[in-house]
Amino acid sequence: MRSYAKINLFLHILGKRADNYHELQSIFYFPEIYDELEVIRSDKFELYVAGEFADKIPQIPKENIIYKTLLELKRLYPEKITDISVFLTKNLPVAAGIGGGSANAATTLNVLNELFALELSKEKLAEIGLKIGADVPSCVYSKPMIVTGVGEGIELLDGHTENLLSPLSSSLTLKWERGLLGNNFFPKLNILLINPLKSVSTKQIFEMGFKNYSEEIKIEKNKLFKQEYIFELLHRTKNDLQENAIKLCPEIAEILESLNATNPIIARMSGSGATCFAIYETKEKLENAALQINENLPKYWVKTA
């Protein structure tokens, strides 16, 4: 099963709560870039990792998010869940601001739900995922969405989503109906991603603090199926973590300078970095930009979607 990367089209930090967690506002987008995960029943937990970033995955079970996900399901459904063997093709860089680990945990939830016939709704899987990581609930769906709170407030944007049957949990806020865009769809974006093959500590970024918090912006949700409106929205938003991340990883500034030289609609960092992305009006402009970036930054991880 595919385990999709997550991109924050923008990321605003609205303030700090009494429990020291930060409130955020963001739009998540899931491009066609992914890890791959296969799972079979086993008499003991085993993890086999291949792919470009295989050497970055912890082999000690207690340090691995896939194993933590298995343990959580075992705790909740001890009579149904056995051990598993996991085959992970790790194509996405680790600790890169694109939700790779969270996506792997979410995919594990989806796969085990099917493998062990748990018959859990997506909402219930997302509720379980929130105990594993703040980005896991969104990755359970892997569809365009507005995210608020500390990551638990999810408003799906595509118009083809099914209705939820179970009542809303107290820990997870989901707004579905038929999707916020009615019968319309969030458009596919032409995206270029770059990572300098360096990780950035999310914890350090938040510990550095913020000069000012952002105000929550108004999003005209009924216009989000129009590419022009999305571009306009991106021009009046930002990533509030970007400034601190650049102090920890100056290569981010270098990447953004190179991306802006390709005349994109927007170029910014995703999540807590160090992955950056740029969006282009057409596939042709995207491909031309990728050629230019590969020439200028040949040692970096570069992908198009």
Residues whose CB falls within 8 Å of the CB of residue 60, separated by 6 or more in sequence, listed in order: none
pLDDT for the residue numbered 152: 84
Same domain, residue pair 154 and 224: no
Write out pLDDT tens, residues 197-239: 999 999 999 999 999 999 999 999 989 999 999 999 999 999 9
Band of pLDDT at residue 177, cut at 50, 70 and 90: very low
As a whole number of Å, the CA-based R_g of the chain is 19
Same domain, residue pair 124 and 65: yes
Active site residue 135: yes
| Residue 168 pLDDT exceeds 50 | no
For the four alpha carbons of 193, 199, 203 and 209, in that order, the dihedral sign comes to negative
Residues whose CB falls within 8 Å of the CB of residue 117, separated by 6 or more in sequence, listed in order: 80
Band of pLDDT at residue 160, cut at 50, 70 and 90: very low
Active site residue 6: yes
Same domain, residue pair 32 and 165: yes
Domain boundary among 175, 210, 232: 175
Same domain, residue pair 167 and 216: no
- Find the catalytic residue in 35, 135, 158, 240: 135
| Residue 50 pLDDT exceeds 60 | yes
Domain extent at residue 86: 2-175
| Residue 181 pLDDT exceeds 70 | no
- Find the catalytic residue in 6, 122, 143, 285: 6
Return the CATH number at 135: 3.30.230.10
Segment 32-41 shows an average pLDDT of: 97
What are φ and ψ of residue 48, in 5° steps? -115, 125
pLDDT for the residue numbered 48: 96
184 in any annotated domain = no
Same domain, residue pair 129 and 220: no
Number of folded domains in the chain? Answer: 2
Same domain, residue pair 7 and 147: yes
Closest CA to 257 of 201, 202, 194: 194
Return the CATH number at 279: 3.30.70.890
pLDDT for the residue numbered 167: 33
Residues whose CB falls within 8 Å of the CB of residue 101, separated by 6 or more in sequence, listed in order: 65, 94, 95, 133
Write out pLDDT tens, residues 191-201: 999 999 999 99
| Residue 176 pLDDT exceeds 70 | no
